[in-house]
Each structure stands twice: as C-alpha cells, then as structure tokens.
A = this chain, B = another copy of it.
Amino acid sequence: MTKNINRKEYLESKPRLLPSVSIDCVIFGFSNNQLKILLLKFKNTDFYALPGGFISIEEDLSDAALRVLEERTGLRDIYLEQFYVFGSKDRRYDQTHQKIMEGNGIILKPNHFLLDRFISIGYYALIDFSKANPAPDDLSDSCEWYDLDKVPSLVFDHNQILQKALETLRSDLDTKLVGFNLLPETFTINEIQRLYETILGEKLVRSNFQRKILSLGILERIEKKMTGAANKAPYVYRFVGQ
C-alpha cells in the first residue's frame, strides 16, 4: 500500500494522480440496534460529504480506497467492498470544489484537476460504530456518525451514492452477514432478527424470519445444557465454522 502521500500536494497542484477517477466510501455503523453513517463536514463550510479521495498513478485501486478512508477518517483495517461506479456526464462539481477549497484558504487555478469531470467508484463497509474512533482530517471540521434518518443534504451526488450503498447493503445482507462480524460469538434468533430489522428498516414476522435465516445454512444451534430452568431459555446459535 502506498503510504505518506501528501494531501496538500494532491490539492494545491496537479499531482501524479490517475485522472478522471475518484473514490467515495460509505461507512455504515451498527451497534445496539442502531444504524448510522459516517460523514465529514468540510472546514468553514456547511458542506457534508462522504469520505472520498483520489488514486495515485502507481497505486492499486483497492489500496487507494483503504488509504483514502484512513487519511480522511483515521479508520484502518476496514473491509471495504466495491458496490457501484457513478458515471453521469454531469459529475463536474467545479463551483462546489472552489468553495470547499476557499474554506481551506486555497484558490484553485482554472485548469486545476478538481474542476474536471470525475467518475466515482463507490466502496462500502459495515462496522461496529461503538468500537470505531473516527477523526476529521485537515480538510474537515468534523467526522461523525449520523442516524440514517437524520442525514443532512450532502455535496455532489453523495446522497444518491449513500442510497445506492444502502440498497446494496440490504440486498447483500444474507451473504455478507458473517463477514461483517457484528454479533457476539453466540446469539439468539431474536438478536439476529433485530439486526436485520435495523438494517432493512422494517419489522419482520418472527416465524418467516426464523425459517429464512435457518435455510441459509450459516447458523448452527448450540446444544442446551440440561440444567432444568435452561430449557425455558431460547436456543442459542453461532455462525457455522466460527
């Protein structure tokens, strides 16, 4: 992974970056049956944004995504997954970029690369926000978790990128659940149903949910110890092979 690329150098002059391509990271946080999203606020502006950045000409795309996330938020060792490329011809945000840079005391030259059209490659992750400590970078006043139903208006097409990431998270939940690592070692059907309900944003029927989650073949039931009262407790499960 390419390290120590100077952000000021990126932004003040035309650096050795891959032209036309940016990365945006949608970091969902789950804990205690709450779903949140990580947003930055650009310095001296009212502009909220997903953490994003650019790719060095000598850097793998996947390494760039990890570096960008770490530089913008301080978060490391996150499992990021590509989910979509945003490629509208209207993705040219020169006036917004001008204002963002003015908030940092920088005036962009007329041919600055930030004024060009970009396609943006979206990456997403779902992590336990109670265990993460994000911090703003030197371009931002804040880097904080927001409830999904209290997301402010975002710059560029970032509201649309967030919405597409949420759709992907919801439709991929069955296959990505084990990797997200959001449940304790052992858990009840009730606990896993709460997680689904929080992420899907809707109540589920217990019997249907139980049938469906068991049919995925990812859970194994732990045998109850024969201690009398324990027979009244719900069954406890863990992920197969964990």
Interface of A with B (CB < 8 Å)? 18-21, 55, 57-62, 64, 82, 84-85, 87-89, 117, 119, 121, 171, 175, 215
Contact = CB atoms under 8 A, between A and B. Distances in A.
A194 to B, nearest CB: 24
Contacts of A88: 60-61
A64 B85 CA distance: 13
Contact of A57 (B117, B121, B215): B117
B55 A87 contact: yes
A63 to B, nearest CB: 8
Copies in the complex: 2
The 10 residue pairs across chains A and B that have the minimum distance between CB atoms: A61-B87, A19-B19, A18-B20, A19-B20, A60-B89, A20-B20, A85-B121, A60-B88, A58-B89, A20-B21
Contacts of A82: 84-85
Contacts of A121: 85, 87, 119
Interface centre among A84, A87, A88, A121 (most CB of B within 10 A): A87
A200 B91 CA distance: 38
A2 to B, nearest CB: 9
Contacts of A175: 171
Nearest to A122: B85
Nearest to A88: B60
A193 to B, nearest CB: 19
A119 B87 contact: no
